[in-house]
Amino acid sequence: MHADYGYSEEQELGKPYDVKLLKRLWFFMKPYQRWLWLSVFMLIFITVIELALPYLTRIAIDEYIVPKGQIPLLLEEKLSGITRIAVIFLILTVADLIFNFIQVMVVEYAGQMMMHDLRINIFSHLQSLSLSFFNHNPVGRLVTRVTNDVQNMHELFTSVTVFMFKDAMMLAGIAILLLILNWQLAVVSFMVIPVVYYASVRFSGKARELFRKLRLLVAKINIRFSETIAGIKVIQLFMQEMENYQNFKNLNHENYTTMLSQISVYAVFMRIIGFLGTFVMALVIFYGGVGVLAESITLGVLVAFLSYVRMFFRPIQDIAEKHNILQNAMSSAERIFLILDNDEKLPQPALSPVLDRIESIEVKDLCFAYTPGEPVLNNVSFSVKAGETVAIVGPTGSGKTSVIHLLIRFYEPNSGQILINGHDMKSLSPSVLRNKTALVSQDPFLFSESVFHNIFQDRTDVSEDEIETVLKDSNCKEIIQKLPKGIHSELSEGGASVSSGERQLISIARAFARNPDLIILDEATSYIDSETEAKIQDALSNLTRNRTTLIIAHRLSTVRQADRIIVLRRGRIIEIGNHEELMKQKGFYFKLNQMQH
């Protein structure tokens, strides 16, 4: 197995650049910025209301409950003033409720739309990447990026971006009001700010490191789980349940301990902030109480001051909590942009020639390696004319499938050329070539959609006569008749609800539906029983009639009728000819033939 085919570990990331990442994320936020600004506008009203409530308490106490004025108020005046303050308090509370509801709906709408756009962007980008990317990135890792990590972006948009703005406004507003109420007590309260800053810096660095580790572990858990489901037959056959269970348990335990470490860091930080808040409250009660007894400050000011001090540490705790979410989101953003920044794509020509029909294929001195220094093909040259059937045979690892991958342009050759109708393949858009090509492999993939969708994809112009012809020529009619809803029956994931032979016939029907110029058969009759093989051979005969055909085969009995047979060994062509010519040469093909009889 080539190194390129092995999964690679996710790279360790260096120093975080939160501002840089946030700037890149702004691209996805920008289309919905008016909703975000509306949310901010709502938060300004909410912040003003919340700041006004303790001040109303001060007015009620100092002017009506324990008035300090020279002229004493009548009881009716006190009751009237208290009632007026209570009504204003109630109105502001209801307004706060309404503004909060509107703000939550607005920010959730924007957050969901941004998450939708980001996920679509990742999905679209993944589909544009070449096969080499998927060879070293397991499914579980990519699923984690599109699900968990994108969800963390939603948390960033809805819980951090807007609400940290509110908390900052709240802190600034409280600080100003504290200074207005009593600047001496305010200075006492602000003494703990350097300690809060120091704790925040320490918490930030530790939290980012742990969240990065958690991102990797979640991806590994998804990889392990997806591989277990996909390989459950092998696991059970070789009785590896206990070993696989232990490996998963160890991985899960590592995730558990890392999560506990993250929670511990967060809990310690929150307890520090809570203690500092209590400490400041004690100082305010002491110095404020002395001030009330000395009549240097009023009781209303002290009550309002205590309310504001309690409110002062709530935004700090909120910011710490949001910072926790921010660190998690930044770790996810780093992983997401690793995918979006990946440019393992086939180069696209600026202007692709029109390809009405594939008339000829010419391969010149083709060299290719999945991994540098490990060549798979060396100076391979051959040609195929329209209507010809050419077979490529050879032992396992000789490079047969690699030739097909290059012809379909899943990969780019390291050197040499592939000419289609005299045009260098690199000058053709991959879609132009693939639109004229159909591949029938030994293990065809079917989607968890209807049989109709698997054969005709999203075509809406398919007539009943075309459906009948395709099913008849591909020997699929009998399969369709057995299914509960006929051609509109849903298949399970990978087509597991039908047999391997039936999957093969459906894939042949899919090739028929494309009406291609070039048919590529990659071990299309391997691992099939004799009866099913006869149906498949008949269907393939119908498919390849009057079409250019390339056949990859281990079983030489399936290629005897080919116009030419190319024999590959260790990435080089060692013999070319038809069956009779190669048998007369008594070379490598002759030996392969003898070994199979």
**Spatial contact of 411 and 130, defined as CB atoms under 8 Å apart:** yes
pLDDT of residue 585 exceeding 80: yes
Q: Do domains 3-340 and 360-595 have the same CATH topology?
A: no
Report d(CA 269, CA 263) in Å as an integer.
Answer: 10
- pLDDT greater at residue 237 or residue 478: 478
What is the reported pLDDT for 384?
92
**Overall size of the chain counted in residues:** 597
446-479 tens-digit pLDDT: 888 899 998 888 788 888 898 899 899 888 988 8
Domain 3-340 CATH class label:
mainly alpha
Q: Given strand 437-441, what is the order of strands in its sheet?
A: 437-441, 518-522, 548-553, 389-393, 564-569, 572-577
pLDDT given for residue 15 in this prediction: 47
- pLDDT tens digits for range 277-303: 788 888 888 888 888 888 788 888 888
Confidence of residue 29 (pLDDT cuts 50, 70, 90): confident
Element (H, E) at 290: helix 241-293
Q: What angle do CA 189, 194, 199 make, to 5 degrees?
A: 115
Token readout for 347 is 């180069």
Q: State the pLDDT at residue 2.
A: 42
Residue 192 to residue 200: CA distance in whole angstroms: 12
- Domain boundary assignment for the chain: 3-340, 360-595
CA 569 to chain centre: 40
Residue 93 — pLDDT band, cuts 50, 70, 90? very high
* Closest C-alpha to 420, from 550, 541, 512: 550
d(CA 389, CA 579): 12
The predicted pLDDT at position 87 comes to 92
What is the full DSSP assignment across 153-200? Answer: HHHIIIIIIHHHHHHHHHHHHHHHHHHHH-HHHHHHHHTTHHHHHHHH
Confidence of residue 573 (pLDDT cuts 50, 70, 90): very high
Q: What pLDDT is stored for residue 320 in this prediction?
A: 67
Lowest mean pLDDT among 14-28, 212-226, 350-364, 425-439: 14-28
Across 199-220, average pLDDT:
77
What is d(CA 197, CA 207) in angstroms, rounded to the nearest whole number? 15
What does the mean pLDDT of the chain come to? 84
139-193 residue pLDDT tens: 878 888 888 888 888 888 887 777 777 888 888 888 888 888 888 888 888 888 7
184-216: b or e for each residue (b if 16 or more CB lie within 10 Å)?
ebbebbeebeeebeebbeebbebbbbbbbbbbb
Is domain 360-595 annotated with CATH 3.40.50.1110? no
Residue 221: CB atoms within 10 Å:
17
Quote the CA–CA distance of 70 and 68 in Å, as a whole number: 7
Burial track 83-94 (b if 16+ CB lie within 10 A, e otherwise): eebeeeeeebee
- How confident is the model over 244-290, as pLDDT tens digits? 889 889 999 998 998 888 888 878 877 887 788 788 888 888 888 88
**Residue 563 backbone dihedrals phi, psi, to 5 degrees:** -65, -40
Instruction: Tell me what pLDDT residue 91 has.
Output: 93
* Contact indicator for 61, 299 with CB cutoff of 8 Å: yes
pTM: 0.74
| pLDDT tens per residue, range 365-407 | 999 998 888 899 999 999 999 999 999 998 888 889 899 989 9
